[in-house]
Structure formats: C-alpha cells, structure tokens
C-alpha cells in the first residue's frame, strides 16, 4: 500500500495544495493600476488588489481551444477617473483606448467559462465587488493563455509585453482559504478511503492464504 499511497499523495499535492502555499510565499500588491502599471514590475505577484475602477472587459475576450477552452480577457481601468483631459488625449486603436503604460499586461483568465459568443464569465467577474486577482501558477495553462493573448494582440493591434494571468476573485484570502479547506476535506476522505481499501485487500489476501494453507 505504501507505493500507491505515496504516488497518490504526491499527485494530490501538485494538483491541489501547492497553489495555496505558493500564493502565501509570493508577493501581494495593493492598488495596482492597469492603466499605468506594467507587468514586468510585478513578476513576483501572487495576490493583486487592483485600483478602484478596474474591471474585466468581458465582451472583448478571446477563447483558445486545445482540449478545453482557455479564456482570456484584459483587465482595464478608465483613465477618465483620474483626469478627463488626459483620457481625451490617449490614442484609440481599433476601438480600444491605449493605456498610458503602453501595454496591456494584466489578464483575467479561466477555462471553459467564455459563454456564448466568447463572453467572459470566469471567476467572480459577475460580482461588481470584485477587483482582485490570484496568480495562475499552472505552467501548461499559462502557455495556452499566452497563445490566447497573442491572438488578442494581433487582432486589436495593442501591445502586450509582459502578460500576467489572474483568476478574478472578490476576496483572494477567502478564496485561498476555501481552497485549503476543500483540499483538507478531500485529503481526509481519500485517506480514509485508502485505509478501508487496504483493510479490505488485506482481509481478502488473508482469507485466500488461509484457504490455500488448509488445502
């Protein structure tokens, strides 16, 4: 039972628990402005609280299909909230106002949640109280999201230099703790199940050996 238990435990750690502890070890930033800030300054970000007025452009998302559907949508902020004169001077490209940072680096992402017509519906994006993000850590998913962002950039003509991908959430702390609680519950259930299976298998082997010995 040791080898199967070790294998299952190792796989469970990498699939479930590692994100929670990695987020804790990464940096947390407050008042990030997608209009002014650039992704290269926050490469170590795990938890991000965006500045008031930040939002996900749900109707400007892109879906990239590869087994599952990888959905990406830019996180933006209206420059007119700070200075209407500045906002009026910003260039407009293909219907998009180019951010003052010169790049669109902050992205909300998810899988199989684009809805009809590639309308972004991932995470807590439907909540008006949401303006926070938890960094996406899975390397394979990130590579798929990069392809989606490249398609978006080629379509719109806007530059994307250092894209960072986030799960859009209302409260990152509550979200992370709920993930931990779910993982601990799953761990207990799987541990008990594994013990019961080992007991049943041991009992069956014992009866078999006993019958062979009697014979």
User: What would the two tokens of residue 142 be?
Assistant: 């990130």
Selection from 54, 57, 58 nearest residue 120 by Cα: 58
Q: pLDDT by residue for the chain (215 residues), tens digit each?
A: 556 655 666 566 556 677 778 888 999 999 999 999 999 999 999 999 999 999 999 988 998 888 899 999 999 997 655 555 555 566 666 667 778 888 999 999 999 998 665 689 999 998 888 999 999 998 889 999 999 999 999 988 899 999 999 999 999 888 777 776 676 677 677 777 777 877 788 878 878 877 776 55
Phi, psi dihedral angles at 174 (to 5 degrees): -65, -40
Question: 32 - beta bridge partners?
Answer: 50
Question: 72 - beta bridge partners?
Answer: 62, 109
In angstroms, the CA 169 to CA 126 distance is: 10
């Amino acid at each position: 039972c040791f080898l199967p238990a070790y294998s299952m435990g190792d796989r469970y750690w990498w699939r479930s628990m590692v994100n929670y502890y990695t987020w804790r070890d990464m940096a947390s930033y407050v008042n990030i402005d997608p209009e002014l800030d650039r992704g290269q300054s926050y490469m170590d970000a795990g938890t991000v609280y965006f500045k008031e007025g930040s939002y996900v452009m749900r109707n400007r998302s892109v879906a990239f299909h590869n087994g599952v559907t990888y959905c990406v949508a830019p996180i933006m902020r209206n420059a007119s909230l700070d200075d209407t004169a500045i906002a009026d001077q910003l260039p407009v490209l293909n219907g998009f106002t180019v951010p003052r940072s010169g790049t669109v680096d902050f992205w909300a992402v998810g899988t199989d949640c684009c809805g009809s017509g590639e309308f972004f519906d991932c995470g807590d994006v439907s909540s008006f109280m949401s303006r926070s993000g938890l960094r996406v850590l899975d390397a394979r998913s990130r590579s798929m999201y990069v392809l989606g962002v490249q398609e978006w950039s080629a379509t719109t003509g806007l530059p994307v230099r250092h894209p960072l991908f986030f799960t859009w959430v209302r409260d990152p702390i509550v979200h992370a703790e709920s993930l931990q609680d779910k993982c601990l519950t799953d761990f207990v259930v799987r541990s008990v199940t594994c013990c019961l299976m080992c007991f049943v298998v041991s009992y069956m082997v014992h009866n078999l050996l006993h019958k062979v010995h009697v014979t």
